[in-house]
Amino acid sequence: MQTGYRVAILGATGAVGTELLELLEERNFPASELKLLASERSAGKQLPFKGEKLSVEPVSEAALEGVDLVLASAGGSISKIWAPKAVEKGAVVVDNSSAFRMNPEVPLVVPEVNPEDVIKHKGIVANPNCTTILMLVGIFPLHKVKPIKRIVVATYQSASGAGAQAMEEVKNQSIDILEGKEPVAKIFPYPLAFNLFPHNTPLNSAGYCEEEMKMVNETRKIFNNQDIRITATCIRVPVLRAHSEAINLEFETPFDVEQAREVLGKSAGVKLIEDWQANYFPMPLEATGKDDVLVGRIRQDISSDCGLELWLCGDQIRKGAALNAVQIAELLVDKNMLGT
């Protein structure tokens, strides 16, 4: 078995790209060589890795020569161009964009949920949307015990979902408002500081935005169940990093709350946080920088004997993007599906 792999990060200077770099070092991923790829304007920038400074180079076919693994987080339009080229040159691509998620030829993987699907890849493995990843890590352990019939979810999504510039925009808007100035919105359509609004992706004819439909369609694909009923409302909130979700689950038969707590308390990728006397439950501040999805406030739905309510928070950049991609790469290594 090969012990070192030639790895490239496409979109290395973005919020997720820099997190990918940190995670490869933290988790001691077996990379014998690491290339940092980005656009021409980012070429020459240097990023730290294992005590060294690595230079960013512009993405090109030559730069992809000999690469075993590409971790891509540069947006769908870039992935559509470069992922197939990387595959042609012998690499496996773990893509963080929406470009390939619903392609029936491309597995959509959350390692805690459907790790077996990674072996179906034909060169590309898709990373799900951040809100989908966080939700499924939190509810799949329950689904394994009793299949979920219906999911109703409301998300509270941080600025980090729109990248590093969006996070800076919210900081600057906060200062402007506190100084009595008019806040400027460039990344988002409206000021987000001290404000919130529905997710600003395009709406379909039924009034659901793209972000909401991602949760519906991706969950059905990952669960391999087109019959599961799902509805979502996605809201952007003035939190810098880490998304939150309020989730209502309906089962065929009642699910005992204490059993749900026991199941989630033992589940990989989940940390149960509940202090009912202190009214202390998961918060995005405490989820920031953490690998686990924080889950709590598990309670019986008083409107349905077969319903459960829960609340979760997870780091959108980490488990919602970069960590999930690195875990997929680790699955590929474990199954000896990288390199020649």
Residues marked active site are found at 130, 243
Max CA separation in the chain (angstroms): 62
- Rounded (10°) CA dihedral 216, 221, 227, 233: -10
DSSP state of 190: S
Per-residue HEC secondary structure of 260-282 comes to HHHHHHCCCCEEECCECCCCECC
Q: Is 304 annotated as a binding residue?
A: no
DSSP state of 224: T
> How is residue 192 written in tokens?
């987000």
Q: Is 210 annotated as a binding residue?
A: yes
DSSP state of 159: G
Q: Is 161 annotated as a binding residue?
A: yes
Q: Is 157 annotated as a binding residue?
A: yes
Q: Is 42 annotated as a binding residue?
A: yes
Distance CA 25, CA 109 (A): 22
Q: Is 13 annotated as a binding residue?
A: yes
Q: Is 150 annotated as a binding residue?
A: no
Q: Is 236 annotated as a binding residue?
A: yes
Q: Is 316 annotated as a binding residue?
A: yes
Pair 281, 297: CB distance under 8 Å: yes
> How is residue 228 written in tokens?
């599961």
Helices (H), 146-289: 164-178, 210-223, 257-265, 284-287
Q: Is 14 annotated as a binding residue?
A: yes
- Rounded (10°) CA dihedral 169, 170, 171, 175: 100
Paired sense of beta strands 229-236 and 148-157, if any: parallel
Q: Is 66 annotated as a binding residue?
A: no
Q: How many other C-beta atoms are found inside a 10 Å radius of the C-beta of residue 39?
A: 13
CA 315, chain centre distance (Å): 8
Binding-site residues for substrate, in ranges, read 157, 210, 236
Binding-site residues for NADP(+), in ranges, read 13-16, 41-42, 160-161, 316
Binding-site residues, in ranges, read 13-16, 41-42, 101, 157, 160-161, 210, 236, 316
Binding-site residues for phosphate, in ranges, read 101
